[in-house]
Structure 1
Amino acid sequence: MTGAVNLAEKFATFSEHWAPRIVATYNDNDIRIVKVEGEFVWHKHVDTDDFFLVLDGVLDIELRDRTVTLNPGELFVVPRGVEHRPVARYGEVKIIVIEPAGTDNTGDSATATRAVAI
């Protein structure tokens, strides 16, 4: 990468929900932007934590025993092995997720949406 990444420009290049886009790589981790709306599937990541940073909108991270609500500028890390489901109840939410390169967004390659670089 030779310059700054403009997140607004990157978000403007796609409209799909729950379809991560890789905007940078950092120490073998993908920096991914995602537009989300509605409910995602319950899932867990056996080998890695799951990092969520909300840029715009309100995102609930449902865990089996509680719900964590994230507003713009807030982040939450779901520990590895913990079942969770992100939910955007009030319209589209823009988030950043950071995961080891190649990590499936559902933790299962059979049900995953592959992240693509933009």
Structure 2
Amino acid sequence: MPAPLSPEAIAAALPDLWSPRVISEVDDAYVKVARIQGVLAWHSHEAEDELFYVLRGSLRIELEDDVVELRAGQMWVVPKGVRHNPVADEECLVLLIERKSTRHTGDVVIDKTRSIAEQLGAMPPGAGER
């Protein structure tokens, strides 16, 4: 039987910012973690919702007509089709739940965009197995 995972420890061990890592699967969704800081990009996911859960730090999700502020222990779901821009003024660790079809930066491609193959890459040393 696989060992329990610590999403916060795995996210903290990630070497690169804005590079989500798949740590598990639930039916047709991936459970991912990321270490983030700064600004990602304005984008949307036309056919998929995106759940953000803050493990450590704080996250601001800018929307075209609003802003959602999240602190550790809080979550929010970006509804499908809603343009958003995740921003972390200081380092933040997040857990994401997304359909397996969800592209990292949705409808835009930037230097921070990661493919699903990259997100399925090896876990950081000592982080356990998927």
TM above 0.5 = yes
Deviations 1:37-75 (A, max 9, x none): 001100000010111000100100000001110000000
Distance, in Å, in 2 between the alignment partners of 1:9 and 1:77 is 23
Distance, in Å, in 2 between the alignment partners of 1:45 and 1:8 is 25
Preserved CA contact (<8 Å) 2:8 2:93: no
| Counterpart residue type for residue 120 of structure 2 | V
Distance, in Å, in 2 between the alignment partners of 1:37 and 1:13 is 14
Match of 1:96 in 2: 95
Identity, % of aligned positions: 33
Q: CA deviation at 1:85?
A: 0.3
Specify whether residues 59 and 32 from structure 1 end up closer, same or farther in structure 2 by C-alpha distance, changes over 3 A only.
same
Match of 1:7 in 2: 7
Specify whether residues 103 and 56 from structure 1 end up closer, same or farther in structure 2 by C-alpha distance, changes over 3 A only.
same
| Counterpart residue type for residue 113 of structure 1 | R
Match of 1:108 in 2: 107
Where does the alignment leave 5 or more consecutive residues of structure 2 unmatched? 124-130
Distance, in Å, in 2 between the alignment partners of 1:82 and 1:11 is 26
- 3-state DSSP of counterpart to 1:43: coil
Q: Say which structure is richer in strand.
A: 1
Specify whether residues 105 and 61 from structure 1 end up closer, same or farther in structure 2 by C-alpha distance, changes over 3 A only.
same
Preserved CA contact (<8 Å) 2:50 2:79: yes
Q: Residues 10-25 of structure 1 correspond to what in structure 2 (within 5 A)?
A: 10-25=10-25
Preserved CA contact (<8 Å) 2:51 2:75: yes
Aligned residue pair count: 117
Q: CA deviation at 1:110?
A: 4.3
Deviations 1:67-89 (A, max 9, x none): 11000000010110000000001
Where does the alignment leave 5 or more consecutive residues of structure 1 unmatched? none
TM-score, with normalisation over the residues of structure 1?
A: 0.90
- 3-state DSSP of counterpart to 1:82: coil
Match of 1:53 in 2: 53
- Root mean square deviation, CA, Å: 1.7
| Counterpart residue type for residue 85 of structure 1 | N
